[in-house]
Structure 1
Amino acid sequence: MTAAGAAGPVDGSDDRGGLRAALGGLTTRGRSFLAAGVAAAVCAYVLGQGDLLRVGLLLAVLPLVCVAVLHRTRYRVTGSRRLSPSRVPAGSEARVHLRMDNVSRLHTGLLMLQDRVPYVLGPRPRFVLDRVEPGGVREVSYRVRSDLRGRYPLGPLQLRLNDPFGMCELTRSFSAYDTLVVIPRTEPLPPLRLSGAASGYGDGRHRSLALAGEDDIIPRGYRHGDDLRRVHWRSTARFGELMVRREEQPQRARCTVLLDTRRIAYQGAGPGSAFEWAVSGAASALVHMVERGFSVRLLTDEGSAMPEGSGDGFAGPAQESAESAGLMLDTLAVVDHSDGGGLSRAVDVLRGGDEGLLVAFFGDLDEEQTAVAARLRQRSRGAVAFVLDSDDWVGGGEGVASAPAAARLRLLREAGWTAMAVPPGAELAGLWQRAGQEGSGGQPAGTRAPGAPASGAGSTAGFSGGWS
């Protein structure tokens, strides 16, 4: 839950709009009384009726008095907004809590509270607040929901001030507003042991020796819970306190989630389109890998990597993983199609040669981009590709890849990818499990990369090692 800063006070005596703006707040009833009063006064002058003139003056003066009183009202109220939560998956609801405080010494009149929200979040909420006593508090709440990911501004709050006769209505606005972030939907994925690197702090993790040799051990002070078998007696005698061997340092496994955003690679739009499935799939993959202890980064075909400012683009220490995942989900909340035509910029980013596991979500791939994707596989220890055939998605096919799409999948597998065709409306969890089953036995028959071991001989492509 996140708390929004309190909005500024609303003062009924604010002269920014002036009396002319207050006159513009006359309601239909007020304008009718004013018009009737003027008409009665004119008729009284023409007919010489003094009683009718008094009635006309009363009708005309009443709305003007209400305008003056409402314009000079001196009570002050403050408002605040709180989102619960401020980041919500598409299709889920968030609750917005509004709080109004009367900080003046006067009772307020009837107040209408209104919050401005984008139309995709639902109808504009309106609340009627009865008289609020001095120092009193009123709290109301409403729900918002969107099936479309994005960043949506909420606010500013508006108050409508009415006089007791309903002759005049003035609107005062607060200045503060908040932002609701609607992130893509995510699916829980089965925990597979991956070949790019083992999970960050699990069995089989990659370690690096600090230094070799008994004399080159780097000791550190004893901590409660350390195994006594690791006590380094020579250093203990030298420093006069218990020292333990620090022979190995765990390295967090790495994973790069690549999202193809090229406009020419996708067709259709809306929550059920191929592009939205790819975005949701990328979000599910990065959340799953972060939960397993991987150091994850998000990469697009334009070469932009998240999180930014981390050198090689990967998330920092374990304690920063949740924050980094939030930043990447915020990026996916607003990601849109790119105008690029290829994946070459992503190849330039993956130049290190030790990038760990690569999980890619591709749209349509022509022959040239399939060759570029093959080069991406050479830059990683293991690679899994989920390929979406736009013709199949737009045409509402049964998930059977067309001949060109099947040929592209075969070329990816020959290059070492564990490539999966994504039928319309497929669940990523099922495809993820199938990819793990295919990768654990090596490459499918007839699709082995040149020089790679045969199926069952320890292939490093895709997933391997079965369940964790």
Structure 2
Amino acid sequence: MTEAGAPRPEDDQDGRGGVRTALAGLTTRGRSFLAAGIAAAVCAYVLGQPGLLRVGLLLAVLPLVCAAVLYRTRYRVAGNRRLSPARVPAGSEARVHLRMDNVSRLPTGLLMLQDRVPYVLGPRPRFVLDRVEPGGRREVSYRVRSDLRGRYPLGPLQLRLSDPFGMCELTRSFSSFDTLTVVPRVTPLPPVRLTGDARGYGEGRQRALALAGEDDVIPRGYRYGDDLRRVHWRSTARYGELMVRREEQPQRARCTVLLDTRGVAFRGAGPESAFEWAVSAAASVLVHMLERGFTVRLLTDTGASVPGDSADGYAGAGADSADAAGLMMDTLAVIDHSDGAGLSRAYDVLRGGDEGLLVAFFGDLDETQAAVAARMRQRSGGAVAFVLDDAAWTREPSGAAGPADPAAGPGGVLRLLRDAGWTAVGVPRGASLEDLWRRADHERTAAGGLGSPAADTAGFGAVGGSGVGAVGGSGLGSGLGGSGLGRSGFAGSGFGGHGFGEGRG
């Protein structure tokens, strides 16, 4: 809550400053009365009309008295602003609530409130409040809306005081500001199987956790001090010795969303530009993966990672998912084009370890940068690339010159990425992310899985790719492929099309 001082400013130390402030607040009506009074007084003196002189003095004195009274009035008001919500998607509305409290012992006169807002949010709201009794309060609200993401300051709130005759107005400003964050639009995505299962990541791992819970059910021999409640009686009967469940904590599925922000990769501006589509799509994937239980991070071509607080830069586990989503959405709200020309910094970050699933949104790629992007696939359990044809988004004429080299065209880039193991999808102008998300899953399935050494260890996949074992009560699962390994009886290994794994009874 912020208090606005009385109409009389405390920083005026002499009467001359106060007089100037009061006279500067005269309205058009007050100035007209003052001018008419002076003119009448001059005419009365020239013409020798005492009656006209009295009229002129009345006209001239009235606005001066109103200004003096308004300036000398001592009362204080307090203001409060509340945003609901403080973070809103582009194209949606937020409501701003204003509250005024009269904390003085005197009733106020006519008050006019005006809140300063950027023009992109709409016209500046104005409210007229009638007399506010001592200790009273008034509440008003207005709506703001922006189609452009960003952080927009709201305030300061201006309070305009007026006398009952409308002769004088004094304006005071509150000192508080609030910030409205307009985040990218988020598109709900269908739960398709795009994940890579390297090191136990992805959908196969999630399926196992859904069946077995958080504890690994592969039994081990009993050790002194083990909790007897963890005894696995079926394994004990099978092996003839006391067996207990392991207490290993499962690894959480990981996802890295790579956003290409290079200025040379995107042309055009505005809410319908290719860059804004990529930002909105990246936000949608981040939210979707968090909802599916992944730990996620946002990576840009500059090598900057968000949230980046932990040792590996990921966040989103458990109760932290809401905070992680908020931090990444705030970052995407203000993200802009970078000055870099290459993807090497992002590649240096990705090659440092196994990243699970990698979802990338690329702009225009020349031959060199397409090769760098292709190498990013090597350390990922699964990789999906959405490549935006910026020439189509900017509606360049069909007769315009094409790229300098064939590999730099959209089709050449997609072929290069697919040859490297990516699931690559072109993004035409106005495309739906939901449809492209399904299309990426279909292309991965048609290609026989994600097709990399890391993905060959996956617990799911298409026929001919990674194997998926069906859970059986006897511990035998049938596999679809020939490369997967059974784990905990939930994934089958492909020896002649059958998996060997212990089934949970």
Q: What is the alpha-carbon distance in structure 1 between the residues aligned to residue 228 and residue 286 of structure 2?
A: 36
Matches within 5 A, 1:146-225: 146-193=146-193, 194-196=195-197, 197-199=201-203, 202-204=206-208, 213-215=220-222, 219=226
Whether 1:9 aligns to 2:17 is no
> Is the contact made by 2:115 and 2:154 (CA closer than 8 Å) also made in structure 1?
yes
Offset at residue 449 of structure 1 (A):
7.3
Matches within 5 A, 1:89-100: 89-100=89-100
Residue 442 of structure 2 is aligned with which of 437, 445, 452?
437
Report the residue type matching 1:265 in the other structure: A
Give the corresponding residue for 2:262.
262
Report the residue type matching 2:152 in the other structure: Y
Q: For structure 2, which runs of at least 5 residues remain unmatched after alignment?
A: 13-17, 237-243, 468-479, 482-505
Relative to 1, partners in 2 of residues 1:340 and 1:212: Cα closer, same or farther, differing over 3 Å? farther
Q: What is the alpha-carbon distance in structure 1 between the residues aligned to residue 204 and residue 303 of structure 2?
A: 25
Report the residue type matching 2:130 in the other structure: D
Offset at residue 210 of structure 1 (A):
11
Bigger RCO of structures 1 and 2 (CA < 8 A, at least 6 apart): 1
> Is the contact made by 1:113 and 1:126 (CA closer than 8 Å) also made in structure 2?
yes
Report the residue type matching 2:30 in the other structure: G
**Deviations for 1:109-152, whole angstroms, at most 9, x for unmatched residues?**
11101100000000000001011111111111110000000000
Residue 413 of structure 1 is aligned with which of 408, 411, 418?
418
Q: For structure 1, which runs of at least 5 residues remain unmatched after alignment?
A: 1-5, 234-243
Whether 1:39 aligns to 2:39 is yes
Offset at residue 164 of structure 1 (A):
0.6
Report the residue type matching 1:440 in the other structure: T
Q: What is the alpha-carbon distance in structure 2 between the residues aligned to residue 220 and residue 158 of structure 1?
A: 67
Whether 1:358 aligns to 2:358 is yes
Offset at residue 198 of structure 1 (A):
1.8
Offset at residue 72 of structure 1 (A):
1.1
Relative to 1, partners in 2 of residues 1:83 and 1:419: Cα closer, same or farther, differing over 3 Å? same
Q: What is the alpha-carbon distance in structure 1 between the residues aligned to residue 454 and residue 297 of structure 2?
A: 30
Q: What is the alpha-carbon distance in structure 1 between the residues aligned to residue 453 and residue 252 of structure 2?
A: 30
| Alignment RMSD (CA, Å) | 3.2
Relative to 1, partners in 2 of residues 1:212 and 1:175: Cα closer, same or farther, differing over 3 Å? same
Give the corresponding residue for 1:236.
none
Q: What is the alpha-carbon distance in structure 2 between the residues aligned to residue 72 and residue 79 of structure 1?
A: 21
Report the residue type matching 2:307 in the other structure: P
Relative to 1, partners in 2 of residues 1:232 and 1:180: Cα closer, same or farther, differing over 3 Å? farther
Offset at residue 435 of structure 1 (A):
0.7
> Is the contact made by 1:232 and 1:245 (CA closer than 8 Å) also made in structure 2?
no
SS in 2 for 1:324: helix
Relative to 1, partners in 2 of residues 1:451 and 1:45: Cα closer, same or farther, differing over 3 Å? closer
Whether 1:311 aligns to 2:315 is no
Give the corresponding residue for 1:325.
325
> Is the contact made by 2:294 and 2:316 (CA closer than 8 Å) also made in structure 1?
no
Relative to 1, partners in 2 of residues 1:377 and 1:252: Cα closer, same or farther, differing over 3 Å? same
> Is the contact made by 1:200 and 1:253 (CA closer than 8 Å) also made in structure 2?
no
Relative to 1, partners in 2 of residues 1:219 and 1:359: Cα closer, same or farther, differing over 3 Å? farther
Matches within 5 A, 1:9-158: 9-16=4-11, 18-158=18-158
Q: What is the alpha-carbon distance in structure 2 between the residues aligned to residue 146 and residue 154 of structure 1?
A: 13
Q: What is the alpha-carbon distance in structure 1 between the residues aligned to residue 121 and residue 228 of structure 2?
A: 56
Q: Answer with 312-321 or 258-267: which moved more.
A: 312-321
Offset at residue 335 of structure 1 (A):
0.5
> Is the contact made by 2:219 and 2:235 (CA closer than 8 Å) also made in structure 1?
no
> Is the contact made by 2:219 and 2:245 (CA closer than 8 Å) also made in structure 1?
no
SS in 1 for 2:438: helix
Offset at residue 48 of structure 1 (A):
2.3
Q: Answer with 16-25 or 285-294: which moved more.
A: 16-25
Report the residue type matching 2:38 in the other structure: V
SS in 1 for 2:374: helix
Offset at residue 205 of structure 1 (A):
5.3
Give the corresponding residue for 2:496.
none
Report the residue type matching 1:425 in the other structure: G
Give the corresponding residue for 1:425.
430
Q: What is the alpha-carbon distance in structure 2 between the residues aligned to residue 107 and residue 451 of structure 1?
A: 75
TM-score, with length taken from structure 1: 0.86
Q: What is the alpha-carbon distance in structure 1 between the residues aligned to residue 142 and residue 22 of structure 2?
A: 30
